[in-house]
Amino acid sequence: MEKLRTHCQYFEQQAHSLTESFVNNISATEAVIWFETSEPVISTLSINNKVMKDAAPVTHHEFNVSGLTFRTKYDYTVKVASHSQTYHITTALNAGSRKPFVFAYTS
């Protein structure tokens, strides 16, 4: 990393920046988690005692997570270089379930 000097303070310049993570296609047992970086890097995703890693440096990072349990909250951690951020997801109910749920939509 390159150190920059500004007003007598040193700041480390990161070679990349990380977007928030996004979750798509979430079901009772699976989810797709993705995020982007400004530079091609290898990142890792840790969830449910599994660690997944990019095969090569990329800017679009996408992980297909399977083997999850329905209606369960999972913490997951995205790591890019020395930066990491933890988020969580909750899997969907089983198909045909009569339990109440909340549906959110944004555009």
For residue 98, being part of any structural domain is answered with no
Which residues are 53's β-sheet partners?
Answer: 44
**What CATH number did the domain enclosing 74 receive?**
2.60.40.10
What DSSP element (H or E) covers 12? strand 9-13
DSSP-derived secondary structure letter, 55: S
How does pLDDT run across 58-77, given as a tens digit for each residue? 999 999 999 999 999 999 99
Q: The domain containing residue 25 runs over which residues?
A: 19-90
For residue 101, being part of any structural domain is answered with no
Confirm if 45 and 33 have CB atoms less than 8 A apart.
yes
Distance between CA atoms of residues 34 and 21, nearest Å: 6
Confirm if 22 and 12 have CB atoms less than 8 A apart.
no
For residue 5, being part of any structural domain is answered with no
Count how many domains the chain has: 1
How does pLDDT run across 20-56, given as a tens digit for each residue? 888 999 999 999 999 999 889 999 999 999 999 999 9
For residue 96, being part of any structural domain is answered with no
State pTM to two decimals: 0.76
